[in-house]
Amino acid sequence: MSTEIATGYTLQEEPYYLPLADEVELFQAAYEQRLPVLLKGPTGCGKTRFVEYMAHRIYRNSVSAPEQPLQTVACHEDLSATDLVGRFLLQGDETVWQDGPLSRAVKEGSICYLDEIVEARKDSTVLIHSLTDHRRILPVEKLGLILEAHPDFLLVISYNPGYQNVLKDLKTSTRQRFISIDFDYPGLEEETSIIAHESGVVSEQAERLALVGEKVRNLHGHGFDEGVSTRLLVYAGQLISQGVAPDRACDAAIIKAVSDDAEVQRAVAELVVAIFPPA
C-alpha cells in the first residue's frame, strides 16, 4: 500500500497563471521574509495554480532548488500529524522511517502547501504553530527529535470560507500566524483569457462561458452560495473543444455540476440557454 499523500511538483515547465491583482508581488515579498501565507477563496478560483506558479517563479533561478519545490497535501478529516511528519514502515523484516511531505519540505527547503487545512485533524495544527513562529521547528515525536526548518522552507495553507462550517473555522491562534491573500473568481475579461488558454476554445466561445460564470454568480443569495468555479467553466470549454455541442457541454459541466438542487439547476439552465441557445 502506498502511503504517499502528497503530490510533489517539479520545475520543468512554467505553469500558466494569470495574475488578478497584486498577489504575485505580495507572495514574493512574503517569501523573501519567510512569512507563512494563507490563501483564502472559493473552490476552483486558482489558488492551487497560483502556488504552483509561485513555486516555479521562486525556485526557477535557484542553484540549490530542491528536487520538488512544492509539496502539496490535500487535507481531509483523517489526516493526522503522522501523515504529515512521517512514520515507521515495515519493509521485509526491517522497520524503516519514511518522512511525510511536511518533514521533506522542512528538510529540503521547499514550499509546503496544505490545501483545505481546516479539514485536517487538530493534532496537525500543533505542528503548524511551531513552524510558523520564530522557532521554525518541526517536532518529530516518533524519532524523538526536532527538525529545524531549512532557510528556504515556507508554509502555505488554504482555506475556503464558503463552507460556513463554524466547527471547522480556522482558530484565531492559527489564522493569526499567516499573512492572508484573498482570492475570488476573475472578472469577465480575465476569465475569458483563462478559459481560452486552458481549454483551447476560440475567444468568442470563451467569452460566452465567462458570461455564464458572471451571471450564475449573480444568482448568489438565492439559496445558492458557491456560484460556479472557473474550473467548471474550463471543463465546459474542454468538452466543447472535444466537439461536444456547447449547450450539452454546459449542461454536464455547469448546470448539473453546480448543484443537486433542482431549483438551482433550473435557474442556471435558464441563464445558459440565453447565452448558448440549443442548435
Ligand X SMILES: Nc1ncnc2c1ncn2[C@@H]1O[C@H](COP(=O)(O)OP(=O)(O)OP(=O)(O)O)[C@@H](O)[C@H]1O
Residues interacting with Mg ion, by CB under 5 A? 48
Q: What is the C-alpha separation between 257 and 191, in angstroms, rounded?
A: 19
Which residues contact ligand X (rule: CB under 6 A)? Answer: 16-18, 20, 41, 43-49, 115, 160, 186, 194, 198, 230-231, 234
Nearer to ligand X, 119 or 152 (CB): 119
Q: Rounded to 10 degrees, what is the CA torsion of 94, 1, 9, 187? A: -150
Q: Quote the distance between the C-alpha of residue 49 and its chain's center.
A: 7
User: In the complex with ligand X, which residue's Cβ is closer, 140 or 257?
Assistant: 257
CB of 240 within 8 A of CB of 249? yes
Instruction: Give the residues across from 157 on adjacent strands.
Output: 38, 114
In the complex, least distance from residue 74 CB atom to Mg ion, rounded to whole angstroms: 8
**Smallest separation (angstroms) from ligand X to the CB of 22:** 13
The CA distance from 219 to 261, in Å, is 14
Residue nearest to Mg ion (CB): 48
Report the C-alpha gap between 143 and 13 in whole angstroms: 37
Q: Give the shortest CB-30-to-Mg ion separation in angstroms.
A: 19
Can you tell me the distance from the alpha carbon of 109 to that of 95, in angstroms, rounded to the nearest whole number?
26
Alpha-carbon distance of 197 to 136, in angstroms, equals 39
> Judged by CB, which is closer to Mg ion: 84, or 211?
84
Q: Which of 49, 43, 16 is nearest to 232 (CA)?
A: 43
Q: Which does 149 bind (CB under 5 to 8 A by kind): Mg ion, ligand X, none?
A: none
Comparing CB distances to ligand X, the nearer of 41 and 86 is 41
In the complex with ligand X, the residue whose CB is nearer, 110 or 199, is: 199
β-strands 94-99, 179-182 pairing: unpaired
100 vs 46: CA distance, rounded Å = 26
Q: How far is the CB of 250 from ligand X (least distance, A)?
A: 17
Whose CB is nearest to ligand X? 46
* Distance of closest approach, residue 72 Cβ to Mg ion, in angstroms: 8
The site partner of 198 among Mg ion, ligand X, none (C-beta below 5 to 8 Å per kind) is: ligand X
Residue placing its CB nearer to ligand X in the complex, 31 or 185: 185
Residue with cell 452560495: 225
**Euclidean distance between CA atoms 233 and 230, whole angstroms:** 5
Q: Which of Mg ion, ligand X, none has residue 124 at its interface (CB below 5 to 8 Å by kind)?
A: none
CB of 79 to ligand X, least distance (A): 15
